[in-house]
Structure 1
């Protein structure tokens, strides 16, 4: 193993230890929250896994990882069960990596099956929060970046979907130029948002 790999492994291990220590303290949310997690490559999911762990540490939060529950079969989602679980919560949070400036394939299938067949109004009054991370930084996002918009603004279709359903769309939590050494900071930021 070369020096670069050792340094990288050490940084990941340090971030993981810090993250687990941080999460040991059980937090609580005042709003019953459903967190839907998706990552198209779960075995490479450093940030999404860490954010899922943070969400799981908050009492009053239910976490559903789509790939863990349904694999990669976009037709396997149990829409009735997922709809019932959603009805039991007052806030819905999506955690996902930015995947070609979009949500993941399983998350899109989830929206198609769980949200798509019931029409507007079913989720009326619930809050919606998007939590995402991307490797790209200012060279990609922002007014002077390649795409000319902030990462949080890439997800305007999510905002439109939430508003169409009568939900309150919350300011997204978007981590640009995601850095493994900042994982505990990202977890803390998520927990703070879940407690609001």
Structure 2
């Protein structure tokens, strides 16, 4: 399985978690790392190149910090620019059919804060519904997400374990949709 991780962190060099995840990903030759903010600092997305990357991979993981309960702005622009009519959706669209799509996010809040009775009032599953809906709309398969909560609690041990867990997750995660086929 060919895995593409699309990293979208506006300031990856200042990130403990996302940078650590990328460093761990770099140890794996079977994973392609694609950092949008480094690739497109001017935010002028090369649509053809991005579509070729998607076509060349079976599993696409969007890695980003939770950003105002959503994605960073460049990832939203990427969705709008790359996932085009009759390429990703529409009567002649075939390029994303059956692709596996997942999300790996880091969130400042604790796991408890992402509950109906928590300070954020919504679960992570609810917050990620737009990505799940997008995935279904383009006839792809949504994978269970990977989330790291409480990112203010940074220790070397936690960074290391989180990075190992992240890579293991994206290599082994299975969707109920995939299993049921």
Q: Which residue of 2 aligns with 1:185?
A: 161
Q: TM-score, normalised by structure 1?
A: 0.78
- Count residues with an aligned counterpart: 164
More helix by proportion, 1 or 2? 1
Give the conservation status (yes or no) of the 8 Å contact 2:13–2:19: no
Equivalent residue number for residue 126 of structure 2: 153
Cα distance, 1:50–1:152 mapped onto 2, change above 3 Å: farther
3-state SS of paired residue (1:68): helix
Q: How does 1:11-90 map to 2 (within 5 A)?
A: 31-71=1-41, 73-74=42-43, 76-90=44-58
- Whole-Å separation in 1 of the counterparts to 2:115 and 2:131: 19
Three-state SS of the structure 2 residue aligned to 1:58 is coil
Aligned structure 1 segments of 4 or more residues deviating by more than 4 angstroms? none
1:95 paired residue number: 63
1:174 equivalenced with 2:147 (yes/no): yes
> Contact conserved, 1:173 with 1:190, CA < 8 A, in 2?
yes
Query: For residues 38-74 of structure 1, what are the alpha-carbon distances to aligned partners after superposition, in whole Å with 9 as ceiling and x for unaligned?
Result: 1122342221111112222222111100111111x33
Task: Name the Cα RMSD after superposition.
Answer: 1.5
Name the CA distance, whole Å, in 2 between partners of 1:186 and 1:153: 23
| Alpha carbons 2:104, 2:147 under 8 Å: kept | yes
SS in 2 for 1:59: coil
Structure 2: distance between partners of 1:90 and 1:54: 20
Consecutive unaligned residues of structure 2, counting only runs of 5 or more, are 173-181
Unaligned runs of 5+ in 1: 1-30
Q: Is contact 2:88-2:96 (8 Å) kept?
A: no
Which of the pair has more CA radius of gyration? Answer: 1
C-alpha displacement of 1:139 = 5.7
Query: Deviation of residue 138 (structure 1)?
Result: 4.5
